[in-house]
Structure 1
Amino acid sequence: MSPRSRNAAFQAPQPPPAAPISENPAVCLESMFLHIWTTSMRDLPFVNAALSVEAVGFRRWNSSKASVVDPPLLAASTSDVGCALGDWVGAVITPWFINLFVLPGGGNLWSDRRSGERCQINFPIGPLEFIADYSPSAVIPSYQYCPLFAPPSQIASQAAARAAAMAALDAMFRTLGEASGPALNSVSTTTVPTDPLRRAFFRRVVRR
Structure 2
Amino acid sequence: MTGGAPVPVADADAAAWGDLLAGSYRQIGDRAMRDLPIYNDALGVEAVGFRRFNGTIVGIMVTPWFMNVVMPASAVAQTMSGATVQVRFPAGNIEFIISEVGQMGRIASCSLFSPMFQLADMAAARATAEAAIVELMLPADSEEAVRRREPATTPIDRRNFLRGALTERRE
- Bin for the TM-score computed over the shorter chain: 0.7 to 0.9
CA-CA distance at 1:176 after TM superposition: 2.1
The 8 Å contact of residues 8 and 52 in structure 2, kept in 1 or not, is answered as no
Find 1:146's aligned residue among 110, 116, 128. Answer: 110
1:172 aligns with 2:164: no
Structure 1 pair 112–41 and aligned structure 2 pair: CA distance change class (3 A): same
Give, in whole Å, the separation in 1 of the partners of 2:97 and 2:76: 12
Given residue 45 of structure 2, which amino acid in structure 1 is its aligned partner? V
2:99 is the alignment partner of 1:133: yes
TM-score, reference length from structure 1: 0.61
Check if 1:158 corresponds to 2:127.
no
Task: State yes or no: 1:123 paired with 2:89.
Answer: yes
Secondary structure at the aligned position of 1:176 is classed as coil
Q: Distance in 1 between matches of 2:147 and 2:124?
A: 19
Query: Does the alignment pair 1:38 with 2:38?
Result: no
Inter-partner Cα distance in structure 2 for 1:119 and 1:38: 30
Change (3 A) 1:88 1:39: same
The two structures, once aligned, show a CA RMSD in angstroms of 2.4
Aligned 8 A contact 1:88 1:104 in 2: no
Q: Distance in 1 between matches of 2:7 and 2:136?
A: 22
Aligned partners of 2:58 and 2:70 also within 8 Å: yes
Query: When the two structures are aligned, how many residues end up with a matched partner?
Result: 138
Correspondences of 1:51-130 after superposition (within 5 Å): 51-62=43-54, 86-103=55-72, 110-130=76-96
In structure 1, how many angstroms separate the alpha carbons of the residues matched to 2:19 and 2:72? 13
Name the structure where strand makes up a greater proportion of residues: 2
Q: Normalised by the size of structure 2, how large is the TM-score?
A: 0.73
Unaligned runs of 5+ in 2: 149-171
* Maintained 8 Å contact 1:48/1:152: yes
Paired-residue identity, %: 38
CA distance in 2 between counterparts of 1:150 and 1:157 reads 15
Which protein is bigger by CA-based radius of gyration? 2
Give the structure with the higher percent helix. Answer: 2
Structure 1 unmatched runs, 5+: 1-16, 63-85, 183-208
**Structure 1 residue corresponding to 2:19, chosen from 24, 27, 45:** 27
1:52 partner SS: coil
